[in-house]
A and B are shown apart, each in its own frame.
Chain A
């Protein structure tokens, strides 16, 4: 059975292809279009999925779209009339895009893919997330938590997943409907802190560590919740129906003070242990800490409910599962046997859920459910030879304008080292890492989801604040309040992290924030947040042999097989896809070394 899963229309458009229960290819559209969180029809992601597995559109048994356009339309229409007569612009713009495009998604899919409309199926948005989480977990049964801003009509749904005759049975046990949405609440506070909602929630999470949850009690008064996970939000503080006015309204501002101005968080520096916050900044970091605490409390309430009523296995997905600090709280709960978060828990991953579930809709069944787990390296891979050849034709003088204020202002040439043996290449790269170089590390097929897991990564040694600062300012252009993550070889994981956490699959994918053992703090200080936690990726040989070897080789020199690992992308862009994009970032930033598969490029 071959089924294609598609998600697009809101953010993170993606395509995924599953063949007989096996996810074979998946990509977000933004990797190809370079438009971060691109929501448009995933033309090139589909093209890639088909090319990768060598099949054509006519081979597809089903195409499954990740949500139900009619259901969603009723929600959009209802909310646009709610604030009548003050919501004309919401109504007008929604109707223009819905009546001309979004409502006719199935027609478009049928036309684009030249397949009969009967072969196009729809799932509920949260159900797609749940299918991704449950089928990919390989669990026999589980409780599934799905939290995001809003899907068709729901914002939070708890499911129970079981298997019957080789097919997944995913049933909702609790549904929380829009406009009650903790996801939207979190985004609204993100906006209050001066960041882009639906994109920079990770900033709020990072800032939380600088503050104290002083406003927790006040914020909690805006939510009424019960032990059974149901909740309602006091809508008088929010604008969820009139979204052009922003998520929060005047009443919220009256209660919590005016929203943050741009760039006020410059003093929050995780590379400066003696950071001092001004009073005004502190107000906002305290707000961040408060909403973070509130969110954690809700997620753990959901987990407790599941543990008590349904299962000790928990799957978690939806944009809310990107909050690795909350995931860390889940991992510390007593009674959890397993916790699974898919590689892409967000809307890109709902295409994966649609593709996998589509296999079963088309008649596939599987007795051994552990076979359904899928790897993360399912994106596109490229050969780098021609790209490197063209680099050697470039006159470095032409690059002067980008490198004016950098240590490469007098760049003379690029030195290219081609290795036939990956062992020698790794030896050289580990030496360069020891010598405090910033290394762009590009290998094989890309990772699915937002985390760089050793195939599209930027690496440095983990113990150097100054180097990390140079990485933030001269390469990534990233705010200093955002901490970096650490990759550690499975051989050394227990030196860095408590045994209790290591069992979780989420630690292979940088999904769970954990405390760092005291004895290792100094060794990895550049990847530790101000609360002494980190977001580790434990790399084992089976998952990524090359990266595992690099970590070990570096460990021989450094004394701990760990590297600071951040995503290979520039500010405002998605994770890079092709070697050309890696080269572009390499030549115009202060990145010192670029490794493209077995080719190592240095700036001289």
Chain B
């Protein structure tokens, strides 16, 4: 079952890397910007985790991981910044919300990060296998190396923090389901957006001419302050 999922994921990545990214440099840059934003979000969640943990040793581990994730975000950003008008390709900032509150046990937040790390590492490995872009491959190689060690590290802190293995297992499955659900919502939203765009196009092009006369008269009138 898992290997079937992996295969589907690989094929999806291959399709994106070899067709979409090749035809549309803009969509490549948007994806890279999205990777950067995801790394930054991990940093942000980890900063929250840092303040939820009291053990200085665990805090130190989180600290170095924060540095690494921030480094990854920067690496992705550098890939975009080599293009002119790089800012046009960057995804806008998302509204932030902590995944877990201060009342939740911190291991749950770390479990979430663990799944995130694992997914990212897998995805980056697939991209690495399909891509022919040397800059991107160089960046990914470094990041994959870090992510693999983060997965191990997150796993061990998780158990050291005293959660029962059965609890962890349940939580990991819960998180996986949530992430699947979230990606389903994202995809549905995308389809929905196509419909909304079409509706807006109809409104714009049918009513636009009339409204534009009014708009022009308002703006021209307002020119005289």
Please tell me if B155 contacts chain A, counting CB pairs below 8 Å. no
Please tell me if B10 contacts chain A, counting CB pairs below 8 Å. no
Q: Tell me which residues from 1 to 55 in chain A have a Cβ below 8 Å from any Cβ of chain B.
A: 32-35, 38-41, 43-44
Q: Tell me which residues from 186 to 225 in chain B have a Cβ below 8 Å from any Cβ of chain A.
A: 193, 196-197, 200-201, 204-205, 208-209, 211-212, 214-216, 218-219, 222-225
Which chain B residue lies CB-closest to A97? B92
Contacts of B204 in A (CB 8 A): 84-85, 88, 91-92
Compute how far the CA of A178 lies from the CA of B220 in the bound complex, rounded to whole angstroms: 10
Determine, out of A63-71, A368-376, A393-401, the stretch whose residues face the partner at the interface: A393-401
Compute how far the CA of A242 lies from the CA of B87 in the bound complex, rounded to whole angstroms: 18
Q: Is the CB of B215 within 8 A of A587?
A: no
Closest beta carbon of chain A to B148's beta carbon, Å: 16
Which chain A residue lies CB-closest to B70? A584
Please tell me if A364 contacts chain B, counting CB pairs below 8 Å. no
Q: Tell me which residues from 54 to 94 in chain B have a Cβ below 8 Å from any Cβ of chain A.
A: 54, 56-57, 59-60, 63-64, 66-67, 70-71, 77, 84, 87, 93-94
Compute how far the CA of A231 lies from the CA of B225 in the bound complex, rounded to whole angstroms: 7
Contacts of B56 in A (CB 8 A): 386, 389-390, 392-393
Known: A43-B97, A92-B197, A391-B60. A180 touches B219 (CB 8 A): no
Closest beta carbon of chain A to B96's beta carbon, Å: 4
Contact residues on A (Cβ < 8 Å of other chain), bracket: 35 or more
Please tell me if B5 contacts chain A, counting CB pairs below 8 Å. no
Q: Is the CB of A91 within 8 A of B200?
A: yes
Which of B43, B212, B216 is within 8 Å of A34, CB to CB? B43
Q: Is the CB of A393 within 8 A of B224?
A: no
Q: Is the CB of B223 within 8 A of A232?
A: yes
Contacts of B222 in A (CB 8 A): 153, 177-180
Contacts of A428 in B (CB 8 A): none
Please tell me if A580 contacts chain B, counting CB pairs below 8 Å. yes
Determine, out of B17-25, B44-52, B125-133, B167-175, the stretch whose residues face the partner at the interface: B44-52
Q: Is the CB of B219 within 8 A of A78?
A: yes
Which of B51, B59, B66, B224 is within 8 Å of A584, CB to CB? B66
Known: A79-B215, A386-B56. A580 touches B47 (CB 8 A): yes
Compute how far the CA of A95 lies from the CA of B208 in the bound complex, rounded to whole angstroms: 14
Please tell me if B31 contacts chain A, counting CB pairs below 8 Å. no
Please tell me if A402 contacts chain B, counting CB pairs below 8 Å. yes
Compute how far the CA of A387 lies from the CA of B84 in the bound complex, rounded to whole angstroms: 40
Which chain B residue lies CB-closest to A226? B225
Compute how far the CA of A156 lies from the CA of B130 in the bound complex, rounded to whole angstroms: 53
Contacts of B219 in A (CB 8 A): 78-79, 82, 179, 241
Known: A40-B94, A232-B224. A394 touches B71 (CB 8 A): no
Contacts of B193 in A (CB 8 A): 96
Contacts of B135 in A (CB 8 A): none
Closest beta carbon of chain B to A301's beta carbon, Å: 14
Please tell me if B40 contacts chain A, counting CB pairs below 8 Å. yes
Compute how far the CA of A261 lies from the CA of B66 in the bound complex, rounded to whole angstroms: 34
Please tell me if B104 contacts chain A, counting CB pairs below 8 Å. no
Q: Is the CB of A82 within 8 A of B212?
A: yes
Compute how far the CA of A176 lies from the CA of B66 in the bound complex, rounded to whole angstroms: 47
Which of B70, B200, B215 is within 8 Å of A78, CB to CB? B215
Q: Is the CB of B93 within 8 A of A401?
A: no
Contacts of B96 in A (CB 8 A): 32-33, 35, 38, 40, 43-44
Which chain B residue lies CB-closest to A81? B215
Please tell me if B95 contacts chain A, counting CB pairs below 8 Å. yes
Please tell me if A521 contacts chain B, counting CB pairs below 8 Å. no
Compute how far the CA of A261 lies from the CA of B86 in the bound complex, rounded to whole angstroms: 12
Q: Is the CB of A584 within 8 A of B67?
A: yes
Contacts of A399 in B (CB 8 A): 64, 67
Compute how far the CA of A39 lies from the CA of B93 in the bound complex, rounded to whole angstroms: 8
Contacts of A266 in B (CB 8 A): none
Q: Mark A75-89, 1 if CB is under 8 A from B, else 0.
A: 001110110110010
Known: A389-B56, A402-B71. A177 touches B225 (CB 8 A): yes
Q: Is the CB of B215 within 8 A of A40?
A: no
| Most B C-beta atoms less than 10 A away, residue of A174, A230, A389, A572 | A389
Q: Is the CB of B47 within 8 A of A588?
A: no
Contacts of A367 in B (CB 8 A): none
Please tell me if A262 contacts chain B, counting CB pairs below 8 Å. yes
Which chain B residue lies CB-closest to A571? B74
Which of A44, A175, A391, A401 is within 8 Å of B63, CB to CB? A391
Contacts of A81 in B (CB 8 A): 208, 211-212, 214-215
Q: Is the CB of B215 within 8 A of A84?
A: yes
Compute how far the CA of A33 lies from the CA of B223 in the bound complex, rounded to whole angstroms: 39
Compute how far the CA of A38 lies from the CA of B96 in the bound complex, rounded to whole angstroms: 10
Please tell me if A473 contacts chain B, counting CB pairs below 8 Å. no
Q: Is the CB of B205 within 8 A of A85?
A: yes
Compute how far the CA of A387 lies from the CA of B53 in the bound complex, rounded to whole angstroms: 11
Closest beta carbon of chain B to A153's beta carbon, Å: 7
Q: Mark A529-547, 1 if CB is under 8 A from B, else 0.
A: 0000000000000000000
Please tell me if A196 contacts chain B, counting CB pairs below 8 Å. yes
Q: Is the CB of B44 within 8 A of A33?
A: yes
Closest beta carbon of chain A to B33's beta carbon, Å: 13
Q: Is the CB of A394 within 8 A of B64?
A: yes
Compute how far the CA of A43 lies from the CA of B215 in the bound complex, rounded to whole angstroms: 36
Compute how far the CA of A584 lies from the CA of B74 in the bound complex, rounded to whole angstroms: 14
Which chain B residue lies CB-closest to A156? B225
Contacts of A332 in B (CB 8 A): none
Known: A82-B215, A92-B200. A230 touches B44 (CB 8 A): no
Please tell me if A583 contacts chain B, counting CB pairs below 8 Å. yes
Please tell me if A412 contacts chain B, counting CB pairs below 8 Å. no
Closest beta carbon of chain A to B59's beta carbon, Å: 4
Compute how far the CA of A33 lies from the CA of B93 in the bound complex, rounded to whole angstroms: 10
Contacts of B64 in A (CB 8 A): 394, 398-399
Q: Is the CB of B43 within 8 A of A180?
A: no
Compute how far the CA of A386 lies from the CA of B52 in the bound complex, rounded to whole angstroms: 11
Compute how far the CA of A196 lies from the CA of B90 in the bound complex, rounded to whole angstroms: 12
Q: Is the CB of A580 within 8 A of B50?
A: yes
Which chain A residue lies CB-closest to B212? A84
Compute how far the CA of A581 lies from the CA of B46 in the bound complex, rounded to whole angstroms: 12
Which of B63, B94, B212, B223 is within 8 Å of A394, CB to CB? B63
Compute how far the CA of A33 lies from the CA of B216 in the bound complex, rounded to whole angstroms: 40
Contacts of B223 in A (CB 8 A): 177, 179-180, 232, 235
| Most B C-beta atoms less than 10 A away, residue of A33, A196, A261, A392 | A33
27 A-B pairs with CB atoms under 8 Å apart are A33-B93, A34-B40, A34-B47, A35-B93, A40-B96, A43-B95, A78-B218, A79-B215, A84-B212, A84-B215, A85-B205, A85-B209, A92-B200, A92-B201, A95-B200, A176-B225, A180-B222, A230-B225, A386-B59, A389-B56, A389-B59, A393-B57, A402-B71, A581-B47, A584-B63, A587-B67, A588-B67
Besides A91-B200, A578-B51, 6 new A-B residue pairs in contact (Cβ under 8 A), listed by A number:
A32-B96, A84-B209, A85-B209, A180-B225, A235-B223, A386-B56
Q: Which residues of B contact A (CB under 8 A)?
A: 40, 43-44, 47, 50-51, 54, 56-57, 59-60, 63-64, 66-67, 70-71, 77, 84, 87, 93-97, 193, 196-197, 200-201, 204-205, 208-209, 211-212, 214-216, 218-219, 222-225
Q: Which residues of A contact B (CB under 8 A)?
A: 32-35, 38-41, 43-44, 77-79, 81-82, 84-85, 88, 91-92, 95-96, 153, 174-180, 196, 230-232, 235, 241, 261-262, 386-387, 389-394, 398-399, 401-402, 572, 578, 580-581, 583-584, 587-588
